[in-house]
Structure 1
Amino acid sequence: MEEVTGHGKFAVKFTGKSIVKAINPLPKPQIITLSNLDLLSGRFPVTYFYFYQNPEKVCFSSIIESLKSSLAETLSYYYPFSGQIVQNPNTNEPEIICDDNGALVVEGHANISLKELDFYNLNQSLQGKLVSVNTEFPLQVQVTHYTCGGISITFTFDHALGDASAFGKFLVSWSEIAQKKPISCMPDHRRNLRARYPPTYHPSLDQTFVKCTIEEIINMPITQILLKRLYHVDVSSINRLQQLACASGNKRTKIEAFSAYIWKTMATVIDKRHQKCKMGWLVDGRGRVHGAQNLMSNYIGNVLSVAVAEASITELKQGSISDVASNVHDAISKVTNEAHFLDLIDWIECHRPGLMLSNIVLGRGGPALVLSSGRRFPVAELDFGFGSPVLGTVCTTIEKIGVSYMNQRPSARNDGSWTVSAILCPELAAALESDSIFQPMLASLLRL
């Protein structure tokens, strides 16, 4: 197998494909019925990519063999990741068949060194080169070798398998197994987030979420070109924004402060036809559903909701970072509780079967940006036996999205700085880059 893909200077030659199965498969196939919150998250692919300098210059064939053998062991614990996701003909909803169909591992060789890679412009760097999607496999891995001896690993998951918390547990377990360590998480695959009887929910959920068709998703309104960008945000900038957000005496988190800055910046580039704009935040329900954190800390699946706030352009422009951060705080606080998640599970029950999404993601209701925080997502600790990464972040291969989007991750420097992956309109990208806070990701920032 030799296939070359690339545009211009950067190209990747694909040299091998393997299907990796669990070392200890289940005695017989099991079926996992998706929870209501799994159904809300949908089936789109989620990709994480990591870059390694490979300081010991471990040979590529040894890396591939080590990754495949440790993956096979990991799949024995995370057996749904080695299964198939199929449509149940009776319920018309997807389910996971845990039959050890396997995970797909693709090998590639880049024609450049890591420091020559364009880390900033993800439109150019990823699609068809570092990320390939095969819908037959819920988990796909691409391992790419660079001329400098460096390595990149891209992990693509079907969202039905879980959310960022679930994928983070999987990746940490895999790296622990690769380093011959005991795994720190014994995964819980029981999708036990079920509706109450009779289901009941607060009517405000009808404004936040909507039942939709595949045609509505395909035809969601797109008014501008969306750029895929990667940024470095220094810890000094984060701390400064938090100080501004806390200026009125209220305690605000770093994410609340960061959100306030983004929202105010977005207000400066909104088309004059719009008097308001929205911001949304993905919220993890672990620690909020069924009480204490430890009861769901190892839950593998989706436990996500969306907080949404709307404000006038005038209010955002004239308000201080502290004022806007208070608006952010109030919106997020409304969904960070058990009552909200129980209501959401019941709302989904009342609208099954079919596709469901948040209105903000569908691009309804005017200009908006959704922020996802991955402050606990593993980055620096993801060592598979050839050193810690210089970069770890998330990206998407989705070509069409109805909202601007940002995803925050800890920097691999482990110094409190952040890596931010973004999908933005050109005007917002230019506005953010005009300040010193959003630094376009460069090889020098990664110390390559």
Structure 2
Amino acid sequence: MASSSSPLVFSVKRCAPEFVRPTNPTPREVKQLSDLDDQEGLRFQVPVIMFYPNNPLMKGKDPAKVIKEALGKALVYYYPFAGRLIEGDNRKLMVDCTGEGVLFIEADADTTLENLGDSIQPMCPCYEEILYDVPGSGEILGSPLILIQVTRLRCGGFIFALRLNHTMSDGPGLVQFLDAISEMAQGLSVPSLLPIWQRELLNARNPPRITRIHHEYEEVTNTRGTLMTMDENNLVHRSFFFGLKEIRALRNRLPASLGACSTFEVLIAYVWRCRTIAFAVDPDEVVRISCLINMRGKRGFDLPPGYYGNAFVYPASITKAGMLCKNPLEYAIRLLKKAKAEMSQEYVKSVADLMVIKGRPSFTQPGNYLISDLTRAGFGEIDFGWGKPVYGGIARALSNISFCMRFRNSKGEEGNVIPICLPPPVMERFEQELKRMTKEEEPVRLITSML
């Protein structure tokens, strides 16, 4: 296991930002987002970065030009991305399909992919250079819904970086759009999977009614003052790589009676436990973890192929900090499995209804940690003609949100990478606890009540 902290520095020369519009006329209309799309917790920009090596077969072709032309063609089908968000009654978000376009930046960097090494994983130290924050472009309302920067490298490779207004799409929905761009770049005139809007499928019922318990949206006010709170201006950003060795060490701690566990379940239970220990939370404080569960392809949800909106909920597992920290890893995994088992069609409807009844609240902040499994989202499969990226995925974590993605390090080891943000002293304790748990045998302890 290793964390990224490279002092890598390189310069980037950028052309002036421009707008890429659909190449053909598109409908001028207003389209509502779903009641899952427009919740407060999704009103932020999510960055994605993909690193592509040189391909001798593409010699003479400019990746920025190829992608820009393909983007304009794809926007004919995904024209809402070329619009702007507006807000209606009860904070309802809608897309005004103005056709103004996606913001696009063409750039060159004085480095090679080889020089970047393991810094291509999340928390890349030159993030601001390869995904430039155009002044005034990052607002949720009235701003471009997507910003793209294509940066050519000296070696012939390039970096594709994108920033998405999260209310428009989740990971799989964005990958669907990127697939359409890649198909256009390689000669198709129509995407192989046509986009479906139909955001009303995930709207609240009439009348709305909350029928399930939603710990992920609870208001937390009465605490002992030790729940995780962070100053956004004083955080350490690092990524942690978990190879076969670390995952095997964690699995060796688990009893056979626990049954089958995914690698994601093992890793996030481990990170949640270590993170809580590092914050030194009062044992009687209630802590929670919210794992995103996507409903695409799941029985009973009937989302059509081509739906590219947000199609997930994040039920929370809760427990007292003392129980989480003192019990073995098995305890946290059982909590995660219990929350996952409660996910149902009724649960999703109850979330949409809660959004309408309570004014589209954000998720619980104090003592909550959100994490999403994007190992199978498909970012690593996007091919604009140069082949697959050596890394493709989310570019960085937020203060209380992390992602789990596939990564192959410079030694050729396959594994998972999780970016995380913590205050400096907490990060130090977190790293120590991570190392301890993957090296030492933990004595078996009795698992008691799972508050």
Tell me which of 273, 291, 296 is aligned to 1:281. 291
Residue equivalent to 1:310: 318
Residue equivalent to 1:408: 404
Secondary structure of the corresponding residue to residue 383 of structure 1: coil
Are the aligned partners of 1:375 and 1:408 in contact in 2 as well (CA < 8 Å)? yes
Cα distance in 1 for residues equivalent to 2:383 and 2:434: 32
After superposition, give the CA deviation of every residue in 1:342-390 in whole Å (9 maximum; x if it has no partner). 11111112123xx51111xx3x2x3x42211113211332111112211
Are the aligned partners of 2:8 and 2:125 in contact in 1 as well (CA < 8 Å)? no
Residue equivalent to 1:122: 123
Residue equivalent to 1:325: 333
Tell me which of 163, 166, 170 is aligned to 1:163. 170
Residue equivalent to 2:358: 351
Residue equivalent to 1:194: 203
Say if 1:314 and 1:246 are closer, same or farther in 2 by CA, change over 3 A: same
Cα distance in 2 for residues equivalent to 1:154 and 1:79: 20
Cα distance in 1 for residues equivalent to 2:241 and 2:170: 24
Tell me which of 258, 263, 266 is aligned to 2:267. 258
Say if 1:323 and 1:8 are closer, same or farther in 2 by CA, change over 3 A: closer
Are the aligned partners of 2:204 and 2:349 in contact in 1 as well (CA < 8 Å)? yes
Secondary structure of the corresponding residue to residue 31 of structure 2: strand
Residue equivalent to 1:441: none
Residue equivalent to 1:185: 193
Moved more, 9-18 or 381-390: 9-18
Displacement, 1:211?
Answer: 8.5
Displacement, 1:131?
Answer: 3.9
Aligned AA for 1:303? Answer: A
Aligned AA for 1:256? Answer: E
Residue equivalent to 2:431: 430
**Unaligned residue ranges in structure 2 (runs of 5+):** 1-6, 221-227, 440-451
Are the aligned partners of 1:176 and 1:384 in contact in 2 as well (CA < 8 Å)? yes
Cα distance in 2 for residues equivalent to 1:221 and 1:137: 31
Cα distance in 1 for residues equivalent to 2:413 and 2:435: 24
Say if 1:143 and 1:123 are closer, same or farther in 2 by CA, change over 3 A: closer
Say if 1:300 and 1:272 are closer, same or farther in 2 by CA, change over 3 A: closer
Cα distance in 2 for residues equivalent to 1:416 and 1:197: 48
Residue equivalent to 1:153: 160
Cα distance in 2 for residues equivalent to 1:10 and 1:419: 24
Say if 1:149 and 1:435 are closer, same or farther in 2 by CA, change over 3 A: farther
Secondary structure of the corresponding residue to residue 202 of structure 1: coil
Structure-to-structure mapping, 1:223-234, within 5 angstroms: 225-234=234-243
Are the aligned partners of 2:17 and 2:106 in contact in 1 as well (CA < 8 Å)? yes
Residue equivalent to 2:225: none
Q: Percent identity?
A: 22
TM-score (norm 2): 0.80
Say if 1:100 and 1:325 are closer, same or farther in 2 by CA, change over 3 A: same
After superposition, give the CA deviation of every residue in 1:124-145 in whole Å (9 maximum; x if it has no partner). 3213543425243111100112
Displacement, 1:152?
Answer: 0.6
Cα distance in 1 for residues equivalent to 2:19 and 2:435: 46
Cα distance in 2 for residues equivalent to 1:168 and 1:246: 37
Secondary structure of the corresponding residue to residue 168 of structure 1: helix
Aligned AA for 2:236? Answer: L
Residue equivalent to 2:391: 391
After superposition, give the CA deviation of every residue in 1:3-41 in whole Å (9 maximum; x if it has no partner). xxxx99422221243321112332x30211121111114
**Unaligned residue ranges in structure 1 (runs of 5+):** 1-6, 213-219, 439-448
More strand by share: 1
Residue equivalent to 1:142: 149
Residue equivalent to 1:100: 99
Cα distance in 2 for residues equivalent to 1:63 and 1:38: 32
Displacement, 1:96?
Answer: 0.4
Aligned AA for 2:269? Answer: A
Say if 1:345 and 1:272 are closer, same or farther in 2 by CA, change over 3 A: closer
Aligned AA for 2:417? Answer: T
Displacement, 1:179?
Answer: 2.2
Displacement, 1:93?
Answer: 3.2
Root-mean-square deviation (CA), in Å?
3.2
Cα distance in 2 for residues equivalent to 1:297 and 1:105: 28
